[in-house]
Amino acid sequence: MLLVADVGNTQTHLGVYEGEELLESWRLSTRATDTADELLASLRALLAASPEPLAINHVAIASVVPSLSESWAQAAQQLSGSKPLLLSHETKAGFSYGYDNPEEIGADRIADAVAAVARYGAPVIVVDFGTATNIEIIDRNGAFVGGIIAPGLSTSADALFAAAARLPRIDIITPPEVIGRSTKTAVQSGLTYGEIDRIDGLVRRVFAELGYESPVVATGGLSRRVLSLSTVITQVNDTLTLEGLRLIFERQQLELQQ
C-alpha cells in the first residue's frame, strides 16, 4: 500500500492507496516542530485505528514546509522500510514547465497539476484553497505555464482580526446576503464573497491571456464552500493533491522497471 502525504503550512492531508483506490484519508494540523519520531508515532496511531489493516510499503511526500521535509522522509522510511518519494521540481512529473525558475514551484502545485491533467485533460486550471490560495495554469499543450499565489481565506481572516482591534474573531461562513446587517455579517461577507470574486476575476484574466477557456478545478480544505458561489469553478476534487502524488509515484515505479 502507498501512503501519500501533502504537508502544508497549516494542514497535512494524508491518504492510503491500494492501487487506484483511496482506502483512508485524514487531515491533521501541521506542527513545524515535529520530529521524525513524533511523526512516526502519529502515523502508526492513525494506521492502527483504521478498521482495516493498512500495511504501508511505500510513501510519497509533497512538503512545502522545509523544516519538516527531512523529518517526514525519515519517518516514512522507518514506516515503510523503503526510501520515500520526496516530490520536487526535479521529479519527472510528465509535463514541461513554462516557469522561469521551476525550483520555486511548490511540490503541492506540481501534484495538483499532474492530477488535474490526468483527470480533466489539458488545458485546465487548478484553484487550491490552503494557507495560500494557489491558481495553477496548464495550457492546451499540457505545459505548466505559471500560476497565481494570494493569501488564503483563513490567512486573510487572521491578518484582519490581528490588525483591527475592534473586530471580533468570528467563524468564516458565507452570509445569505452580500450586504452585512451587522459587523459580524459584514466581515463574513467581505471575507467569503471577496475571496470568490477575487478568484473569479483572476481566472477570467487568465482566460483572456491564454485566449481560450478551460475547466477550473477547486481543491483544498475550503473548496466546497465556494463551489455554489463561483461562476468559473466547474469541479471540486478534495483529493486532487493526493491523486497527483499517487500518479507521480506510479510513474516513477514504471520507469524503474524499464
In this predicted model, what pLDDT tens digit does every residue of 107-145 receive, in sequence order?
999 999 999 999 999 999 999 988 899 999 999 999 999
Per-residue pLDDT tens digits for 161-220:
888 877 878 888 889 999 999 988 999 999 889 999 999 999 999 999 999 999 999 998
Averaged confidence pLDDT in the chain: 91
Please state, for a pLDDT cut of 70, what percent of the chain lies above it: 97
% of the chain beyond a pLDDT of 90 = 70
Sequence-ordered list of residues with C-beta below 8 angstroms from that of 120, at least 6 positions apart, any chain: 215, 217, 235
Q: Which domain holds residue 195?
A: 102-243
- Shared domain for 226 and 137, answered yes or no, is yes
Q: Name which of 5-9, 12-16, 103-107 the model is least confident about.
A: 103-107
Q: Are 60 and 87 in contact (CB under 8 A)?
A: yes
Copy the grid coordinates of residue 173: 461562513
Residues 41, 113 within the same domain: no
Q: What is the Cα–Cα distance from 140 to 134, expressed in whole angstroms?
A: 19
Closest C-alpha to 91, from 105, 71, 75: 105
Total of domains in the chain: 2
Task: Identify whether 255 is part of a domain.
Answer: no
* pLDDT at residue 148 greater than cutoff 90: yes
Give me the residue label for grid cell 445569505: 176
User: Is residue 184 one of the residues assigned to a domain?
Assistant: yes
**Active site members:** 108
Q: Which is higher by pLDDT, 93 or 176?
A: 176
CA–CA gap between residue 88 and residue 104 (Å, rounded): 9
130 with 237, same domain?
yes
Same domain, 135 and 222: yes
